[in-house]
Chain A
């Protein structure tokens, strides 16, 4: 069965410092993995997705994620946080027709 675990429910960083949001996956085969961002009272926006083409995936707004099979991880990173990055982030995997969501990580950016 597919699932993802987001290791941190809350992350706080100072503006201009790196961002690391952690996600581990569980899958019996090569997974499809996604990171979505949700701003308050808004829908979900796709940041990036991994579909086995390249292990380092670059997304929008300067985010990227690296698929590490040996660690079953798909952590989201950004070199320098911006105030507008404050939001809820979801790591998601797909199994057949369905998406399986992590519990989310709330990112706070301190000015």
Chain B
């Protein structure tokens, strides 16, 4: 159990286009999901916290109009990179927080990541 999927796993797009990345919790409901960005050979940087049915909370320095997050259901959060530029190229990883009252309460389960390349 506790599987998180991401789609697509890899995307290449032209500069100026928008790209949507999906994060799904496959076998549990996640009221909270997180989006991270990872630069080559670097650690994960938290971009935003996505709460179902409300606006995402962005970390300092992350442009909310650039990285649109929608958490429309308890199993799906989406990250849209708008008007992508080459500097947005990165590895994007989502995670979902385990439900309260379970053995894994507050643990995060990570998706496999999405490699975005902007030409």
Contacts and interface: CB of A to CB of B under 8 A. Distances in A.
Q: How many B residues are at the interface, by size bracket?
A: 20 to 34
Contacts, number: 43
Given A32-B106, A44-B93, A90 B43 contact: yes
Q: How many A residues are at the interface, by size bracket?
A: 10 to 19
Interface stretch (B13-21, B68-76, B109-117): B109-117
B107 A97 contact: no
- Of A43, A45, A99, chain B has the most CB atoms within 10 Å of the CB of A43
Contact of A103 (B42, B46, B91, B115): B42
B44 interface: yes
A97 B108 CA distance: 9
Nearest to A90: B43
19 contacts: A41-B91, A42-B112, A43-B93, A43-B111, A43-B112, A43-B113, A44-B110, A45-B110, A46-B107, A49-B107, A90-B43, A97-B97, A98-B49, A99-B34, A99-B46, A99-B108, A103-B43, A104-B41, A104-B43
